[in-house]
Structure 1
Amino acid sequence: MNITAADRLLFVGDSITDAGRDRADIASLGDGYVREIARSLRTAAGPTVINRGVNGNRVYDLEARWSADVVEHRPTVVTVKIGINDTWRRYDRGLLSPVDEFEACLDRLLARTRDELGARLVVITPFLLPVTPEQETWYEDLAPRTEAVLRVARAHDARTVRADLALPRAAEETGPAALAPDGVHPGPRGSRLIADAWLTAVAPGTRN
């Protein structure tokens, strides 16, 4: 994908995208993978980068705010990172997000984005780095959800960033807690890995 200074890159998702951004500051990118991507791209093409991640979001929350947080910004490239909370809420709150409904909702969002904006699409797969035995059981829900994300990405010709492969592979050497202390939220090393995976999939040649 050719990223230029004229592009507007918008990232939307849950806390992994949010990463502590200042909601009152449109330029705030947080301390996660979005900031790392922006740092790499600014040394190369220099596009506008917008972070619209919100802590705790599931896919249905994205749909509720899609007009204000995505469409109104008129991005040329939209990256979506969603899914882990749709799984997590099943286990900590008993709040279900059936995979077929999750998939249909994500499909609507990507279809709308392409139809209304003509934006190029990028999807980052959800991932988990279990640090407790309980988290190992989450794969029962997360594995089919990840497959749903991949199906939707293929259906809309979206670039796919396989965070579900890159982070567990790295964790074999470092241990999961070194990348995501709670198994879900990446620290600096985990964020950099996601950024590098995005750059490799979307903008090869711009990795620092």
Structure 2
Amino acid sequence: MSTSHPAQPVRPFASRWLRRVALAAGLLVIPTAVLAYADLLPDSLDLLGIDMSDTPDLPHVARQIAIGAPLRIVAFGSSSTEGIGASSPANAYPARLQADLRTKLRGIDVTVINRGIGGEHVDDMLARLDRDVIGAEPQLVIWQTGSNDPLRGVSLEHFHTATLDAVRRIRDAGIDVVLMEPQWCPKLEATPGANRFRDAVREIGKELDVPVIRRADLMHGWIQQGKLTAKQLFASDGLHMADRGYALLASAAAESILRDAGPVQVTQPVAE
């Protein structure tokens, strides 16, 4: 899924990844050369001869950043991706994530597509995987899952197997994956076995070497660190997050993406 991109001016986010990509491809070590020859760069950075120990967890995201190409992300999931509990769609985590990444990756055209539908469990989401996720041709999918499954009686074994298969399908399509575990909230805490789905998401991430956003731990941490109170964190239904919680989640997701994409320096320009 290679797209031709014309030469562009030096961008302030260019980093050591840009230098590695250019050197490995035998190009001049300047951003315009890499951008001009974007079609010549393979989708997998390890094919460029870069040491595998340096290969990022999100190689397709790293490639887009390195060549200054548009970055498309699909936020896939259920109600907390859709933004239930937020005061407006602009305050849902995908919209806030798009704004955060555009600020951090100055000059990159970042688009985060919200593909969250409230109430869905794993089978509901798999039914639209090709259309809503793979068909959108993103470089990254953030899949928030495991919240509704215990509430709707999905077996843990089925959830684990179906999620594993789906992550493999997404990656086989040349798309990076980040998993997001279920939220911490009183309703899920009171649901027998709910924590096992959280643990299953973590296990799948470990098994497939996929980054996992540990949302439950993050939410506990925000309260313990005094970033907000439990009342400020949750919407009135006690299940979904409110605006301030979604803003913190978006910020944590942006940091996770940039960390897992490799040593990207977003504030220092490349010396000419």
Which amino acid is the alignment partner of residue 177 of structure 1?
A: K
Give the superposition deviation at 1:47.
1.9
Aligned partner (choices 56, 63, 79) of residue 15 of structure 1: 79
- Do residues 127 (structure 1) and 183 (structure 2) align? yes
1:39 corresponds to which residue? 99
- Aligned partner (choices 174, 179, 186) of residue 233 of structure 2: 179
| Residue 199 of structure 1 pairs with residue 262 of structure 2 | no
Return the offset for 1:71.
1.2
Cα deviation 1:89-113 (Å, max 9, x = unaligned): 2xxxxx3111111111111110110
The alignment partner of 2:91 has SS state of coil
**1:118 lines up with 2:174 in the alignment:** yes
Q: Matches of 1:113 and 1:84 in 2, distance apart?
A: 20
The reply to whether residue 157 of structure 1 matches residue 209 of structure 2 is: yes
Structure with greater Cα Rg: 2
Fraction of identical pairs, as percent: 27
From the superposition, tell whether residues 63 and 135 of structure 1 become closer, same or farther in structure 2 (CA, over 3 Å): closer
Return the match for 1:143 from 195, 209, 218.
195
- Which amino acid is the alignment partner of residue 69 of structure 1? D
Aligned residue in 1 for 2:220: 168
CA, structure 1 residues 50+136, in 2 after alignment: closer, same or farther (shift >3 Å)?
Answer: closer
Matches within 5 A, 1:100-115: 100-115=157-172
Matches of 1:119 and 1:29, distance apart in 2: 25
Deviation at 1:11, TM superposition (A): 0.8
Does the Cα contact within 8 Å between 2:201 and 2:212 map onto a contact in 1?
no
In structure 1, give the amino acid aligned to 2:134: V
Aligned to 2:32: none
State the Cα distance separating 1:77 from its structure 2 match: 0.5
Structure 2-normalised TM-score? 0.64
Deviating more after overlay: 45-54 vs 168-177: 168-177
CA spacing shift, 1:161–1:135, aligned 2, 3 Å:
closer
5+ residue gaps, structure 1: 21-27, 90-94
Q: Distance in 2 between matches of 1:57 and 1:19?
A: 13
Name the aligned partner's letter for residue 180 of structure 1.
Answer: F
What residue number does 2:142 align with? 79
Secondary structure (helix, strand or coil) at the match of 1:78 reads: strand
Residue deviations 1:102-149, cap 9 Å, x none? 11111111011011x21111011111222xxx65422x4221111110
Q: Is the 8 A contact 1:128 1:183 kept in 2?
A: no
Amino acid corresponding to residue 34 of structure 1 in structure 2: P
RMSD: 2.1
Counterpart CA distance in 1 for 2:116 and 2:90 is 9
Alignment partner of 1:50 out of 109, 113, 119: 113
Unaligned runs of 5+ in 2: 1-57, 260-264, 267-272
The one-letter code sitting in structure 1 at the alignment partner of 2:145 is I
TM-score scaled by length of structure 1: 0.82
Q: Which amino acid in the other structure matches residue 185 of structure 1?
A: H
Letter in 2 for 1:178: Q
Residues paired across the two proteins, number: 188
| In 2, Cα distance between equivalents of 1:155 and 1:62 | 21
Deviation at 1:192, TM superposition (A): 1.2
